[in-house]
Amino acid sequence: MAQKYFGTDGIRGQVGKGQITPEFCLRLSWAIGKVFANEGRRAHVLIGKDTRISGYMLESVLQSGFVSAGADVSLLGPIPTPAIAYLTRAVSADVGVVISASHNPYYDNGIKLFDGNGNKLGDALEQQIEAMIQREMVCEDSQSLGKASRISDAPGRYVEFCKNSLPRDFSLRGMKIVLDCAHGAAYQVGPRVFQELGAEVVAMAAQPDGFNINSQCGSTHPEMLQQRVIEEAADIGIAFDGDGDRLVMVDANGELLDGDHLLYIIARSRQAKQSMQGGVVGTVMSNLGLERALEALAVPFARAKVGDRHIMQALHQRGWTLGGEPSGHILTLDLCSTGDAIIAALQVLLAMQQADTPLKDLATGITKAPQVLINVTVDSPAGVCEHPLMIEAQTTYEQQMGARGRILIRPSGTEPLLRIMVEGEDKAEVDLVAQSLAEQAKAIQAA
């Protein structure tokens, strides 16, 4: 059944439009409260957020809707998305609510939901919530209203959880790390984790003002981090996104390592320790170089559709624990229930320590095939993707490239963008095909 409100990662959009309005979010939280109501017991809901200015408004509105439905609410304040997943499970709450638009600009926001096990909601529960939204919103009697409180030690609990994902003798003493917090949800807990493990931390983009989240910083804009690592003569650099569930890293020479590199490093380390549980799940966007590098390690590899929920489903189906995307979503299901940038970074640092090898040398086993990703802004990404002229152009170039490459054109699930990915053996050909397809998309948009 097609869903009206929920997309690939919850509900997301521009604040004040569509579903990201006070009116809709009030109905949404009331509906969630009703769906998660338990006979004879109040539903318990956690609400956390990133640092966008609109988070204050949405937090208040969601709290009101839950309380009106008879649910108790615990507020967490600004905290990474994976921390909310962990705390939902740790305090036996019924549902965890994340107010965040991840890597999007400050004027966007969204709502993501976790169940009591810290997993993102399945389609069935999202459909129940959508059906409940259509019903008349009736406030509970005063005697049945919920209550709201704040969990003041939530950041500290999450910091300890991250540290406990490592062996007891693990230490970062003697290591200098530049940490780009994207002015986002990890601006407090991120530096704490690495400092408490002994590292010298140079924090950057850690002064959120409500408007600067992801602005020329973080995992989507790592250029300043690359420069800072060299200036500071640091051992590594780490960049999170706005809600702290994905990362990229920078080696001591300022070279960027994306999610494919990091996934390979973790898999290689686990394979060497014989602790690899099955294989690795990537996505259709994962570079061919990752697939070949894992094959050389005799590690099975499978592809899922884009989105960490699809990776999660594939991992559960196979009984594997490690997966990720080039964008830096890394899932280590033996350690946490969802993608966690801090946990993933610590796993890479653990691999460095156990191999006694610098980051740049750990990534030498993977050679990325030339790949170009172009985002084209269009009013209807799905419509352009399915347009006959777009399909014809893609088919023509696929036939031209043959076994030398592959093309993926898909609508973004979170932004008004058509994503065009071209990968192949010849860089010049890849660039030419990608630009031609982007021009075709722009022509369709202009028509």
Task: Find out whether 120 and 89 touch, Cβ atoms under 8 Å.
Answer: no
Task: Find out whether 188 and 203 touch, Cβ atoms under 8 Å.
Answer: no
Tokens of 55: 């988070």
Q: Which long-range contacts (CB under 8 A, 24 or more apart) does 349-357 make?
A: 349/172, 349/175, 349/236, 350/166, 350/167, 350/170, 350/269, 351/265, 351/266, 351/268, 351/269, 353/170, 354/269, 354/273, 355/269, 355/272
Tokens of 142: 């005063």
Report which of 104, 401, 447 is spatially closest to residue 439, judged by C-alpha positions. 447
- Amino acid type, 361: D
Other C-beta atoms closer than 10 Å to the C-beta of 254 total 17
- Amino acid type, 316: H
Please compute Rg for the chain using Cα positions. Answer: 22
Q: What angle do CA 269, 337, 182 make, to 5 degrees?
A: 80
Report which of 103, 62, 59 is spatially closest to residue 339, judged by C-alpha positions. 103
C-alpha 395/C-alpha 62 separation (Å) is 46
Q: What is the DSSP letter of 38?
A: B
64 is catalytic: no
- Amino acid type, 413: G
Which H, E and C letters describe 380-443, residue by residue?
CHHHHHCCHHHHHHHHHHHHHHHHHEEEEEEECCCCCEEEEEEEECCHHHHHHHHHHHHHHHHH
C-alpha 189/C-alpha 166 separation (Å) is 17
* Residue bearing tokens 């946990």: 343
* Residue bearing tokens 């939902």: 88
Catalytic residue among 54, 102, 269, 337: 102
CA–CA distances in Å: residue 29 to residues 230, 387, 408 = 46, 37, 36
Active site members: 102
